[in-house]
Amino acid sequence: MKLNLFRNPAVDPYVSHMRVIYEDNMRKQTEEYWRKKIATEIQNEINFQAWYQDLHNGTWGEGMVKAKEIALGR
């Protein structure tokens, strides 16, 4: 009986290549998700600051209109 001295079985080069591609794609998707999430949070903070400034310099309705315009990119 021959004992396997290696903990991991031999891996086909194609399988290894596919694993590298999979890990690279997962990394890219994760980075893209967090970039979008952080950008959204920053934009929300900017919108809130604009709304807050307009609220205290004008009426509440004007502040809400301004915040909506900023959110829509106008």
Q: What's the confidence (pLDDT) of residue 30?
A: 95
Q: What's the confidence (pLDDT) of residue 48?
A: 77
User: Given its phi and psi angles, is residue 73 left (phi above 0), alpha (psi -120 to 50 degrees) or beta?
Assistant: left
Q: What's the confidence (pLDDT) of residue 32?
A: 94
In a domain, 8, yes or no: no
pLDDT, one tens digit for every residue, the chain (74 residues): 555 555 555 567 777 888 889 999 999 999 999 999 998 888 888 777 776 766 666 556 666 677 777 777 76
Whether this prediction's pTM lies above 0.85 is answered by no
Q: What's the confidence (pLDDT) of residue 47?
A: 77
Containing domain of residue 52, as a range?
Answer: 39-74
> What count of residues does the chain have?
74
Q: What's the confidence (pLDDT) of residue 63?
A: 64
Task: Give the chain's domain count.
Answer: 1
